[in-house]
Amino acid sequence: MKAVQQYFSLIKFSHTVFALPFALIGFFLALRETASKADTEFSSLSITSKGFWQTNGSIFLLVLLCMVFARSAAMAFNRYLDRHIDARNPRTAIREIPAGIIKADHALLFTVFMSLLFIICCWFINFLCFCLSFVALFVILFYSYTKRFTALCHLVLGVGLSLAPIGAYIAVTGAFATLPLLFSVVVLCWVSGFDIIYALQDEEFDKANQLNSIPAALGKAKALKVSEGLHLLAAVAVIAAGWLGGFSWWYWIGTAFFTGMLVYQHAIVKPNDLHRVNIAFMTANGIAAVVFAVFVITDIIR
């Protein structure tokens, strides 16, 4: 049990809350689309009914497993690859690998195992998901290298997490569509923006160790401006998705809350005051994603 807790800590399992709500949005959007093509009233399909889960339960479970396995692989690989960097940084030296709690080769084996489970789950969903699983794995694992050569590493992380809504949509429909792609744009801009905020803590360390980030390249004040710009684009994409999807007031309440939380995190983090970065990074964004998804999914299934 202790070993399980250690690996949960290694991969920061709680951070799954960022992308998973958007994967669920993509999943339920896809169900609405398939119901529409079948000339069925989606609102009449109760998600609490036995028939609903007999029809969609296996795909739902596979989507959840894909999210867990892919994110676990990405985070474990990041911790493995950055183990020497983490050991030099006082903020990260307590992480499992530099602290000697988990061996580096065990973390790498864990990455391989999680990656294989992700690919297997994609195979059982549909052939398109199976083919795209290799692209998705490349993106989310490649992110771990990017801080070594580009300050745009935050955007690569955003791209990796942005695959969640479109991936879940494809799992059900086997096809691409504009609306889930817009939600992917939301995730890309939103995640990139808050990752810049998180990276503010390591500005001086990154400079001293020739590591790349927006804060290291531009300084804290300008980095926050970039983050604000990305979050503004995320808000625009949320509004565009609401307009394109023809959602009701449920969606717009969720949108108001989501954008409000974007504003909130920029209100509490200043270039000369970073003591609330973790509140902005984990608490504000985790709550924003969950609450937004609840309102959107309620709108879809009502």
Give me the CATH number covering residue 161: 1.10.357.140
Q: What is the pLDDT of residue 44?
A: 47
Q: Which domain holds residue 122?
A: 2-301
β-strand partners of 270? 273
Note down pLDDT in tens along the chain; length 302 residues.
677 777 777 777 666 778 999 999 999 999 988 876 665 555 545 555 555 566 678 999 999 999 999 999 999 999 999 999 999 999 999 999 999 999 999 999 999 999 999 999 999 999 999 999 999 999 999 999 999 999 999 999 999 999 999 999 999 999 999 999 999 999 999 999 999 999 999 999 999 999 999 999 999 999 999 999 999 999 999 999 999 999 999 999 999 999 999 999 999 999 988 888 887 777 888 899 999 999 999 999 87
- Number of separate domains in the chain: 1
Give the global pTM: 0.93
pLDDT at residue 221, as a whole number: 96
